[in-house]
Amino acid sequence: MVSYDPLDSSVTSHPYPHYAALRDMARVAWIESLEGYAISKWDDVLDVLSNGKVFSSAQFWPVLLGEYDPVPEVQPMISLDPPHHIRIRKLANAAFVPGRIKHLDSQIRDIANELIDDIISKHGTSGEFDFVWEFSALFPVTVVADILGVDLEKRVSFKHWVDDLLSAGNRAAYGPERLAVIQKSSEDIRAYFEKLYEDRLASPKDDMISGFIKAEADGQKLSKEEVLNLAILLLIGGVETTTNLLGITFAHMRSMPEVLDEVRADYSKIPSMIEEMLRFDGPVQMLFRHTTKEVELAGTKIPKGALVLPLLGSANHDEEMFEDSESFKLDRNPKKIMSFGQGPHFCLGSYLSRMEAKLALEVLLDRFTVLESVSDDVEWMDSYFARGPKSLPVKFETS
């Protein structure tokens, strides 16, 4: 019997041994607590994600957010199947192609430098600060907020709202107090974006929200709810994930200082470090799909209408795909990783997030001669879907 209970926080804080047992003993495993089939091998995860007809995304958002969905009237693109998915994807994709993103380079560097200036003015030229709350949670939210056109003063609220919404995935394990906090965050995020929508409708600016309000997809304007949903999806998709990638990176560097030294000596190794970190411990651990008909996967029959959970974190550790898969190797340069998904819903922001992570690391290493997590004990987020440290106290020295 394989013990993998995604609702058990000791499992979610160290999921990899559990994934290994699944791959070894039950590559398609029924998970009682989530009432779904966990898929742990690379090839099977690839099959599921590539076949949107049989493995539908339509229930993705309802499963993740349940009654805490801030915009339940319409589904966001991540929860739409073709052909409806294509309509919004085309429109949003146009805003995220490398040609539109590349020129943000110096703006993104400035954001990282300004955050570090704030840290130094608050804490001095050496000491301790919380890497998550004072850098990694603020950096991508500022980048995405700039792009979307949202209020920078609300940055910290965004992090709370998004954390709470993502933790709704664990709602079955929570009591009324925690659920009330999630409910409040869901209402607050909706109220914020409704107000922003109304403001931009009345006086458009040169930002993405105004662009979405103006845009037409297949000759039709997006409805107000579609715009709200898209903005919230970009915030959830674009903020938490990149925040967590940076947090995960520095959480692990404590146990592998030689990697950081190597990268410090040669910045051209930063992209290899990011790619291997995405594989080794990625910010998105699993996705959600539902079968549209009975299907057989790796010898297991899955009934129609069943919840299927492709474990991206497990696929990334599949020993048939990656030699010595449980080790971090700076020079691995994996050709393929599962961290951004596969198939029609492949991450829209993969280029932006890699670019953000690279620029952030360059600026951090330039400005800090020492930047180390102070403890071996990392408190991981309360989610089996998203992975990242809740907070990360670090000691620092400036150059």
- In the complex, the residues that contact ligand HEM under the rule CB under 6 A are 49, 57, 60, 77-78, 89, 144, 233-234, 237-238, 241-242, 245, 282-284, 287, 339-341, 345, 347-349, 352-353
CB of 248 to ligand HEM, least distance (A): 9
Give 195: exposed, middle or buried? Use CB within 10 Å, 0-12, 13-18, 19+: exposed
CB of 208 to ligand HEM, least distance (A): 10
Going through 313-385 in order, the beta strands assigned E by DSSP cover 368-373
Closer to ligand HEM by CB, 249 or 396: give it.
Answer: 249
Residue number, nearest CB to ligand HEM: 349
In 3-state terms the chain splits into helix, strand, coil percentages (rounded to 5) of 55, 15, 30
**Do 371 and 394 form a contact (C-beta atoms < 8 A)?**
yes
CB of 232 to ligand HEM, least distance (A): 10
Q: What distance in Å separates the CA atoms of residue 318 and residue 298, rounded to the nearest whole number?
A: 15
Closer to ligand HEM by CB, 60 or 396: give it.
Answer: 60
Closer to ligand HEM by CB, 287 or 311: give it.
Answer: 287
CB of 351 to ligand HEM, least distance (A): 9
CB of 128 to ligand HEM, least distance (A): 26
Closer to ligand HEM by CB, 66 or 341: give it.
Answer: 341
DSSP string, 136-182: ITTHHHHHHHHHHT--GGGHHHHHHHHHHHHHGGGGGG--HHHHHHH
Contacts of 52 (CB under 8 A, 6+ apart): 81, 82, 85, 343, 344, 345
Q: What distance in Å separates the CA atoms of residue 142 and residue 108, rounded to the nearest whole number?
A: 9
CB of 17 to ligand HEM, least distance (A): 22
Closer to ligand HEM by CB, 27 or 279: give it.
Answer: 279
Closer to ligand HEM by CB, 116 or 247: give it.
Answer: 247
CB of 310 to ligand HEM, least distance (A): 8
Give 11: exposed, middle or buried? Use CB within 10 Å, 0-12, 13-18, 19+: middle
CB of 397 to ligand HEM, least distance (A): 28
Closer to ligand HEM by CB, 19 or 396: give it.
Answer: 19
396: left (phi > 0), else alpha (psi -120 to 50), else beta?
beta
**Do 269 and 370 form a contact (C-beta atoms < 8 A)?**
no
Indicate the helix (H) or strand (E) that contains 307: strand 307-310
Fill in the DSSP letter of residue 63. Answer: H
Closer to ligand HEM by CB, 96 or 396: give it.
Answer: 96
